[in-house]
């Protein structure tokens, strides 16, 4: 743990694993880092901060919690794996044993039982990039109230575990706190995955790269052309908070028996394509790759970007677009498991710069936790949903210092609503059009929740139904 983050007592959790090992990066890791220089430049957006309350039935003195954390790291090799340059290439190095530093903080002055201290620690521990060559890929703080650990704060490096892997780790931690043991062996770890990718998984990569090559032969060169010089600062980030979008998305998903993620992907495709009047639209989306055999309980960085290509030449209505997007999304997820170096070569063979080939397309990442899309009680009627649009807000957040895309959308959980964080390069999507982009998304789905929407899908240009 970096010394500048240490503001209280440090204790250590010793751990003992089954082996020490070295392996190349996984394909998911390689997608993030192609060289040691990339490794050094990783930022805090690669962090996965989590906060859990210690069960009241669990032994919760500091030594007991430290023992559980030591057992956790011993169980999951990925949590004791660092990434270091070897002969000019970043590789994974797993330690057989060691000590995990734990920051102990007093939350006794909090009126909410230490929760405020835990939130502050989560922000602080996540504010500094990991030194992946020297740090373990998790930072941990214990919030103590009345001699009991009430909260645990864990910040994972996304370079070692993905969202699903982090949830597996937290599940095991709860069992260790309550029972002192976890039934059954651990799933595949990141070094196991890397070794599979070097052998038996190569054929999957070959098929995936062929899908990407075919898709890029069909796509326009860009979905976002320059509209003027970039503003200062050049990158902007806005948060749409919309109860109406949440309700409409769930209504459309139920009506057509698709996921809410598919509904948002189709609506994003519609809004992006309408700006360019494109006959083919490409949207990039994140795939978890958990459907691969043996990967359901793996603790590793498995997620990679998938390519969703939708044909719009016949100007379909939104219902047809939705079902086409659902089929295209399945292909995007199926072919999102690949060796990034092989994909780079394929893009170069097509005349693209592998470093910038994805930049001109919208990247949609739904990072919400899973939940049932249905309603408790009757579904909302049209008047209820349209009234909710009056409560929609757009908030401009602190601009990011760096940004690799022209347009990126992140779908997030917001209490009682749906949140969409839109990050843009202002040379291609200035603040005014960016706000309209978000509102068009809401307008389209509010309309589609109650009737079909014909091409060009712009509900904002038609009067609202009575």
- Domain stop point among 138, 173, 197: 197
Exposed (0-12), middle (13-18) or buried (19+): which is 426, by Cβ within 10 Å?
Answer: buried
* Per-residue model confidence (pLDDT) at position 335: 97
Q: Pick the residue with more confidence: 8 or 118?
A: 118
Q: Assess whether 142 and 228 both reside in one domain.
A: no
Distance CA 361, CA 343 (A): 17
pLDDT at 45: 52
From 291, 42, 7, select the one nearest 164 (Cα to Cα).
291
253 and 111 fall within a common domain: no
Helices (H), 361-456: 382-388, 431-448
Compute φ and ψ for 459, nearest 5 degrees. -65, -25
Q: Does 185 lie in the same domain as 208?
A: no
pLDDT digits (tens, 9 = 90+) for 125-135: 988 888 889 99
- Same domain flag for 158 and 240: no
172 near 182, Cβ under 8 Å? yes
Boundary of a domain, candidates 156, 176, 197:
197
Whether residue 395 lies inside any domain: the answer is yes
Write the pLDDT tens digit of every residue in 425-443: 999 999 999 999 999 999 9
Residue 179's φ and ψ, nearest 5 degrees, are: -115, -15
- Lookup: tokens for 86: 């070897």
State mean pLDDT over 207-224: 95
Structural domain includes residue 466 = no
- φ, ψ dihedrals at 37, nearest 5°: -65, -40
pLDDT tens per residue across span 61-113: 999 999 999 999 999 999 999 999 888 888 999 999 999 999 999 987 777 88
Q: Which residue did the predictor score with more confidence, 287 or 1?
A: 287
327 shares a domain with 346: yes
Indicate if 294 and 167 belong to the same structural domain.
Answer: no
CATH of the domain at 453: 3.30.559.30
CB-based contact 180:68 (threshold 8 Å):
yes
Residue 420 clears pLDDT 80, i.e. is over it:
yes
* Residue 466: per-residue pLDDT: 31
Write the DSSP string, 104-127. EEE-TT-TTTTHHHHHHHHHHHTS
Supply 407's token pair. 């347009």
- Side by side, which strands form the sheet with 21-24? 21-24, 89-94, 81-86
**Is 4 buried (19+), middle (13-18) or exposed (0-12) by CB count in 10 A?**
exposed
Are residue 125 and residue 259 in the same domain, yes or no?
no
Give strand pairing partners of 280.
311
CATH number at residue 122: 3.30.559.10
Domain count, the chain: 2
Share in percent of the chain as helix, strand, coil (round to 5): 40, 25, 40
Q: Does the residue 454 lie in any domain?
A: yes
Looking at the structure, tell me whether residues 295 and 163 fall in a common domain: no
Residue 368 in any domain: the answer is yes
Are 95 and 206 members of one domain? no
Find the domain containing 241 and state its range. Answer: 202-461
Q: Omega before 456 cis (within 30°)?
A: yes
pLDDT digits (tens, 9 = 90+) for 140-184: 999 999 999 999 999 999 888 998 999 999 999 999 999 999 989
The gap from C-alpha 396 to its chain's centroid, in whole angstroms, comes to 21
Q: Which pTM was predicted? A: 0.87
Same domain, 248 and 371: yes
- Which one of 197, 232, 259 terminates a domain? 197
User: For the purposes of burial, counting CB atoms within 10 Å of the CB of 226, is it exposed (0-12), middle (13-18) or buried (19 or more)?
Assistant: exposed
Tokens 């519609």: give the residue. Answer: 270
* In-domain check, residue 148: yes
Taking all residues of the chain, what is their mean pLDDT, rounded to a whole number?
91
Run of H or E residues at 415 = none
pLDDT on residue 41: 42
Residue 242: strand, helix, or coil? strand
> Do residue 144 and residue 61 come from a single domain?
yes
248, 179: one domain: no
Q: How many CB atoms lie within 10 A of CB 102?
A: 22
Is 393 among the domain residues? yes
Closest residue by Cα to residue 78 from 189, 218, 224, 239: 189
Helices (H), 258-317: 260-276
């Amino acid at each position: 743990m970096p010394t500048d983050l240490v503001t209280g007592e440090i204790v250590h959790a010793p751990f003992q694993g089954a082996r020490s090992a070295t392996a190349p990066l996984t394909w998911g890791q390689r997608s993030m880092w192609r060289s040691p220089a990339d490794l050094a430049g990783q930022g805090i957006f690669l962090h996965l901060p989590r906060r859990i309350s210690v069960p009241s039935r669990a032994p919760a003195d500091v030594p007991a919690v430290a023992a559980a954390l030591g057992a956790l790291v011993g169980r999951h090799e990925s949590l004791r794996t660092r990434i270091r340059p070897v002969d000019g290439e970043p590789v994974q190095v797993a330690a057989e044993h060691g000590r995990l530093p734990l920051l102990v903080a007093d939350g006794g002055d909090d009126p909410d039982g230490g929760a405020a201290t835990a939130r502050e620690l989560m922000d602080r521990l996540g504010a500094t990039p990991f030194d992946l060559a020297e740090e373990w890929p998790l930072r941990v703080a214990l919030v103590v109230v009345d001699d009991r650990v009430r909260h645990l704060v864990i910040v994972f490096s996304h370079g070692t575990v993905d969202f699903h892997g982090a949830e597996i780790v937290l599940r095991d931690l709860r069992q260790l706190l309550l029972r002192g043991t976890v039934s059954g062996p651990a799933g595949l770890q990141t070094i196991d995955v890397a070794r599979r990718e070097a052998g038996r998984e190569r054929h999957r990569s070959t098929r995936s790269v062929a899908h990407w090559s075919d898709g890029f032969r069909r796509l326009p060169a860009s979905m976002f052309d320059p509209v003027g010089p970039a503003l200062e600062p050049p990158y902007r980030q806005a948060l749409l908070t919309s109860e109406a979008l949440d309700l409409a998305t769930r209504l459309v998903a139920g009506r057509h028996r698709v996921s809410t993620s598919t509904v948002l992907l189709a609506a994003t495709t519609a809004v992006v394509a309408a700006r360019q009047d494109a006959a083919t639209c490409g949207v990039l989306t994140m795939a978890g790759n958990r459907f691969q055999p043996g990967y359901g309980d793996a603790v590793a960085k498995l997620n990679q970007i998938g390519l969703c290509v939708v044909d719009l030449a016949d100007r379909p209505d939104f219902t047809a677009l939705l079902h086409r997007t659902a089929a295209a999304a399945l292909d995007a997820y199926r072919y999102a498991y690949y060796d990034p170096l092989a994909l780079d070569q394929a893009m170069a063979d097509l005349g693209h710069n592998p470093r910038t080939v994805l930049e001109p397309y919208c990247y949609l990442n739904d990072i919400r936790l899973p939940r049932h899309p249905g309603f408790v009680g009757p579904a909302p009627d049209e008047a209820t949903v349209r009234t909710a649009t009056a409560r929609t807000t757009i908030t401009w957040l602190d601009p990011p210092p760096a940004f690799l895309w022209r347009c990126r959308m992140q779908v997030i959980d917001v209490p009682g609503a749906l949140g969409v964080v839109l990050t843009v390069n202002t040379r291609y999507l200035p603040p005014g059009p960016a706000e309209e982009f978000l509102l068009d998304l809401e307008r389209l789905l509010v309309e589609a929740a109650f009737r079909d929407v014909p091409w060009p899908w712009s509900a904002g240009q038609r009067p609202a139904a009575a």
